[in-house]
Every structure is written in C-alpha cells, then in structure tokens.
Chain A
Amino acid sequence: MNLLNYVPGNSFLHRLNPITKLAAAFLYGLACILCGSILMELGFIVLMIAVCAVAGLGKRALRLTRNLLILGLFMFVLQLFFVRTGEALVQIGEFVLITTGGLASALLLSLRVVATMLPLMLLFAITPMNDLCNALVKKAHLPYRYAFILTTAFRFVPLFSTEFHEIQDAQKARGVDFETKNLFRKIGLVAPLCVPLLVSSLEKVNSSAISAEMRGFHLRTRQSGYKEYPFTGRDVLIFVILISLVVFSALFL
C-alpha cells in the first residue's frame, strides 16, 4: 500500500491550483514550526485530519498520522533523554533519567514533526505529480528539465518496487526463504538483490531518457504545456487564510 500516491477525486482540495496546494502545505507546516504550544500542535494535527475528512481523505490522513507518529515516537525518545532542564521526574539513585523540561520539549518536538509533515505528505494525495510540475513550469518558471527529473523520480518508485518483488519472487521460486525473522540474515538475503536492481533500474532510466529525447524533449519551451493552471478566487482565499494562520501562530502560539 503506497501512502504517497495520488487519490483521484473532485473535492475542494483537489480542485485547487497545484501551486496553491504546494504553498498551502508549506505554510501550514511553517505555522506548526512557529507554534510553541503542545496543545495547539495537537490542534493542528486534528484540524488537518478534519479538513481531509471533509474532502473524503480521512482514511489516508489517519494512516499517515499513524505512520508519522512512529517517527514522532523516535524523536520523542531522543529528546526525552537529551534535554536536562526542569525538575527531576524519574530518578535512579543519584542519576536523573528524565526531567520535566525533557518531557515537555520531547512532546512538543514529536507532535511538531507530525503536524509539519502531515500536510506535505497529504499534498501527494490531492496532486498528480505531473500537474504539480507542469504548473511549476508555467507559473513559477521552474526549468522544465528539473520538473521532468522530479516527475520521473516519483514515477520510478513504484516501478522499482515491482521490479524488486519480481527479483524476490524469482529467488523465492528457487527456494530462498525471505520470511526469516533474523534481521541480519534478512539483510544478507536482500543485499545481493540490490545490485541487479540497480543495474536494471539504471538501464530503465537510460531507455526512458532516450524515449523522451526521441519525442522532442529538447524542443520544449515554457509555453509548450497544453494544460492551463489558472488561479481562482478559491486559491486567493486559501492563501489569505494560511498566511493569517502563520502570522497568528508566530505572534500568539
């Protein structure tokens, strides 16, 4: 199950200009970074999930949140033991293990990570990569070759995983057992597969480049794009709301 692929739809989120979506995701993330209250970070997460739920993406938002919480947990543990301010909370003999300051900053940091990453991850659910890149070329004057590299990189991710599973299946058919619980043994089994995977991937990228070349990649200009991405009143509204949110978060939270 890929949590970064596009979810087709026609909600108000889907219908925004791709550039608005990108900017909104960043602005929302910025507001979360500027925010210094644990409660409000929680609020940002809940708000994001609620907005997604209204747009029919509630499930995706929840699953992403769950996965990001694992990352958050990791940050939490690190921060918990590194920050030594405040009073002792857990003590083993003379040694102070956890402090109140540590707990507070660990909570804040981990929630902030989740709240900041969530909108960026959700961006992929509502924006086809191709549209995002084309809009960036047309409106933000990003050179087409960079846009192309970006879309291609994204397109190749599922291709790689299919390829990897194919190679793995071929090995399984020869009796190699990948289901082992032993991590080191598993790494030992998977590592040799990386070389053929890399070789075949590089070959694919090369063929893809040749195919693009033959179809006039070099002739492309900024005006070439067929699809237009006009800004509408809705986009302006989103910009106003999110900039206000950032300002509010910077000043009061």
Chain B
Amino acid sequence: MSKIISIHSFRGGTGKSNTTANLAVSLAQMGLRVCVVDTDIQSPGIHVMFQLNPKDIKFSLNDFLWGKCEIEQTAHEVFTEDSKGRVFLIPSSMRTGDIARVLKFGYDIQLLREGFMNIISKLTIDVLLIDTHPGLNEETLMSIALSDVLLIILRPDAQDYQGTAVTVEVARQIEVPQMYLLMNKVPDLFDKTETIEKAQEAFTCPVIAILPHSDEMMMLASNGIFVRQYPDHPITREIGMVAQKILG
C-alpha cells in the first residue's frame, strides 16, 4: 500500500527540499517507485537538485491544477535505480505569471487529492513525497491533511522552536496518523542523545533523526543529490534509516 509523506518546516531554509530529494533517492535505491511533488508553488526549488531544466518542463503542477493536462503528464522521471527503483518529479511552474495566479485564486483540496490518487495508481507509486512551502498557509495545511506521515524539519535555532511547536499541535488537530521531527544542520558538538531527548520532551513528538551540519552538503549547494555523491557519508546512512522508519 502506498504512503503519502509531507516534508514541512515552519521556517524557510531548514533543508526541506534537500531532505525530500535525498529521501526520494534513498527510497528508490531500496527498489521503490517514488513520486516527489513540489507543492512549494511560491518558491519552487527541488527540480534544481534533480537537475531538471525548466525548459524541459512541458506541464507542471500548476497546469494540472488549472485543468490544462492530466496529472501523469506532469511527472518527469528524474532518477532510475536498476529495473525497479524510480523517482518521478512533479515540478511547480517557474513562470512568475503562473505563480501569481495560484497565489491569487488558490486551488481546491479535492482536486489535489484526485491528482495524488491518480498519479499513485497510474504510475504504481509506492511513496509520494510532498515538498511544501514553509509556514502554515492554506495550501500547506491541505498537503498535511492529505498525508499519512508528516515530517517536520527544524534547526537547533531558537527562531525555529516556537513555530515548530505550533505546527506540531496544528498537525495533531488535523489528525495526521504519523508525525516525526527531523532536526537538521545540528553542529557536531551537540550531544546527540541529549538533543533528541530535549526535543522530544519540548515538542511531544518523536524525533526520527538528527542530521549534522555538513560542509559537504553546503558545498554541494543543491547541485545534486547528496546520497548519490557521498554514498558512505554518515548523513547518507542516517537518511537511509529515516527511509526505513517511515516505511514502518
């Protein structure tokens, strides 16, 4: 049975898109068919990591939401592993006009859900990953409402804590079946187990992983998929473990 997983954070730049892309590849390397949907319509970005040229995007999520095309026409195969593992990407439009239009008129949750359900059955998707826009706007709440699992990313930064606490509570009210925290960009000098304990206590939510701050990740600067470039890196192992836990 397929799973829908939202990757979210209250503030921007926490590493949502990087985590989503790496998780997708990690799952595909385990032989799963994965679809990544960029619902960050205001500031799309995940296509960069998969090196998908905006010129090669014929239809985007925006086109589907306005009824211009079928959902499967928006899916771009961006990663292949052996005969089974695949990552498809449904990008958001890069055109400013398209972005403004969605912001103005919004879209309907029913439509979004149909899109998700169709893509899952048409492409026999095992895991659908949703990269979201930060904050708690209406579109983000929709993605969360449609998810089986919510992964909330935060940094060990006082600015992230308050919003994360609110997000956890709101997600709980919306009755997401499974919810995890992932702490990203954690300096090495922080004690791992202690950090996990503190976060679990403060947010009353299980911490799925602590990803260290990594110079290699900074240097890669989203120009590729970390787990492919550094297959033996501790972060790669950690992401693999997140993938396992999410599958349950």
A and B bind: no
| Interface residues in chain A, defined as those with a beta carbon under 8 Å from any beta carbon in chain B | none
